Each structure stands twice: as C-alpha cells, then as structure tokens.
Amino acid sequence: MSLKDDLEKLKEEGLKNIAESDEPSELNDIRVRLLGKKSPITDALRQMKDLPAEERPKVGSFANQIKEEIANAIAEQQAEFEKMMIEAKLKSETIDVTLPSHKTKKTGTMHVLHQIIADIEELFIGLGYQVINGSEVEEDKYNFEKMNIPKDHPARDMQDTFYIDDELLLRTHTSPQQARTMEEHDFSKGPLKMISPGKVYRRDTDDATHSHQFHQIEGLVVDKNITMSDLKGTLEILVRHVFGAERKIRFRPSYFPFTEPSVEVDITCFACGGTGCKICKGTGWIEVLGAGLVHPNVLKNSGVNPEVYSGFAFGIGPDRLAMLKYGVEDIRNFYLNDVRFIEQFKGEEA
Ligand code: DAH
C-alpha cells in the first residue's frame, strides 16, 4: 500500500473515532494519537525526504490536508462537547423565580403619632412656618416663669412633673419653645411663624386618657397686628386638614396663664356631623386644642415689645387627635409597642 492509501485510511478511521468519541478526554487521546509527535501523519511527513523529489509536494500537501481535516473535526467535536456541557449545566442550575423566598421580610411603618405629626408639619411648612425641635429637658425659667407662671402660681399644680433639680425639669408642655424662638428671632427680618412638636411629661397617674409622657405641637405667630381672626382662620385650616373639609370650629373662653384672651377650640363632631353621638357625648362638638393671643407678659419676658407686636399661640395634642381620628380608646396603646396595634396604621403616610 502506498503512503497515500495509508494516510487515507488513517483519516477515515480517525474521523470515525472522533465522531464516536463520548467525552473530552477521549477526544484528547485521539488528538494525540492522530496529530501528536508520534502520529503516523507526522511520521509520513518525516518520511517525505525519502520520496522522489517530484512526489514530495503532492504527498506533502495531501498529508497536510488530512491533518487539517482531522484538526477541524476535532475542533468541531470539542465545540459540541462544550455546548453539551453548558446545556447540562443550565438544566441542572435552573432557578424557579416564582418560588416564594424563605423568609418574607416585614417592613415597618411610621408610628401613627409620627404620621400625624409629620402630616401637620407638612401642612404648616406649606403655610410658611418653621419647624423647631426643642429640648425635652427644660429650665424652670422657660417652662414656667417666662410663660407667665411664677414660682408660686397655682397653675403649676396642674402640670406637676419630673424635676432633675430645682431649676431643671422634664418639660410639661412645648410652650417654652415660644420664649426660646422669640428670643432668637430677628423681627426686623419679618414675622415669626413656627410650630414645635415633641414629647412632654407630667406626673400623671396613667389611665385610658392620661400618660406621663405624651406629645404636643406648639404653634406661634408673632407680628404686628395679629388678631383672633388670624388665629381662627389658621386653626380652621388645621382642623379641616386633619378631620375633613366640612368641619366647623368654635372658640370657647378659657384660661391659660400665657394667653389673653384664651380659648378652647371645639370642632363639629366628625362621627355624627354635629347631631350628637357617643363620641361627642351628645353635644355635637369635640374639644381639640387650646389657644389664644400671646399674653403681653410672655412677649415682654421674651424681649418683644407688646406695644408694637402681638401674636397668637396654640397647643395641639397629637395623641388626642389620633385617638379621636382612629377611635383609639386607650392612650397607653400608643406607647406599648404592641405590633398588632401599631400595624393597623400601616400605609397612612410614611
Ligand atoms: N401649653 C398648654 C398645655 O400644655 C397648651 C396650650 C394652650 C398651648 C394654649 C398654647 C396655648 O400655646 O395658646 O396645656
């Protein structure tokens, strides 16, 4: 048999072996056997020097052609193996994205009281007010004296609290922020308009409507020619925002040492619309906050001339607003951290 026939046979067998190979390592063995240093093709090419000169190119190109065909077949088979491997991998690693996750994360929610406070803050920011955060530890001077409640004043009894020493206490209301902001404010730059939300403390016995810690939002506007009608218009915007556009408000005369005149503010009952029900105790009205025109002594105590300036102030209890708005019967629920209670107010604002 001629060298050519040998190579032809080798090629046929080789291609068959390649096509029948089952795995990459087997294919590699075939490659070494057919194309390696000791392969018959390499051998044939080596033997060419013994051939007559005119045959050499023919046999040479034939051998190279076979070498190339085998190399291509191996490369194709190799690619086939790789494709199969990828497919097998994809199959075994399939992820079912529709499966539920192991643990569904619970998202929290803003506490209902903070939802109410944030909502009121947003309203007043829209009306051009600053939001001021005061300190919960306050001086007697600001909590009482500057608010027109001297040391021996009986009004102190209604707001007994936790003293740190004789002159330092946990504030009983947010009203001290009135004096603090008036002292800071530069009236030559325009009116003072602020609200100040935060926690306040009283030495109350806790029950369904009393908590030793609760929230207030103080409001204060000081400018020239501020009157009761400014106060009434502002509070109307507030209660309609919180309790609905149909609410009416009324002022009842009252007493606070830091306002003169002082009023309690009632709104028409949002449950019965004013005809009388359990929530409004049959009166058709619900008391929601205290307010008044800033007492001249308070202005004076804060360095503001009452002959030139006047102001209105109000104090809101967000806890009470939340109780009314959502029918919560016990104020202590707000502070118990019972998730079953808190969760009911999901998605209100947040
Ligand atoms: N500071 C009062 C309280 O804690 C609430 C209050 C009433 C604040 C009337 C005011 C006001 O600014 O004008 O009971």
pLDDT profile of the chain (350 residues), mean per 10: 78 90 90 87 81 83 88 92 91 84 77 95 98 96 96 86 94 98 97 98 86 96 97 95 90 96 93 88 92 98 98 96 89 91 72
Q: Write phi, then psi, for 163 (nearest 5 degrees).
A: -90, 140
Please list, in sequence order, all residues whose beta carbon lies within 8 angstroms of the beta carbon of residue 207, skipping any fewer than 6 positions away: none
Distance 207 CA to ligand 1 centre (A): 21
Q: Which of 203, 148, 136 is nearest to 173 (CA)?
A: 136
User: Which residue's alpha carbon is nearest to atom 8 within ligand 1?
Assistant: 315
Looking from the CA of residue 147, the nearest atom of ligand 1 is 1
H-run or E-run covering 84: helix 56-92
Distance CA 152, CA 122 (A): 39
The pTM of this model reads: 0.70
For residue 1, the model assigns a pLDDT of 55
Name the pairing type of β-strands 192-201 and 130-131.
parallel
3-state secondary structure of 294: strand
Angstrom distances, CA of residue 195 to CA of 59, 183, 269, 286, 289: 101, 15, 25, 23, 14
Distance 141 CA to ligand 1 centre (A): 17
For residue 109, the model assigns a pLDDT of 84
Local structure of residue 291 (DSSP, 8 states): E
Reply yes or no: is the peptide bond before residue 154 cis, omega within 30 of 0.
no
Are the C-beta atoms of residues 241 and 260 closer than 8 Å to each other?
A: no
Residue list, ligand 1 pocket, CB within 6 Å: 173, 175, 218, 256, 259, 290-292, 313-315
For residue 157, the model assigns a pLDDT of 83
Distance CA 278, CA 288 (A): 16
Distance CA 169, CA 323 (A): 28
Kindly report each contact of residues 155-161 with a partner whose C-beta sits within 8 Å and lies 24 or more positions away, as own/partner: 155/257, 159/202, 160/202, 160/203, 161/201, 161/202, 161/203
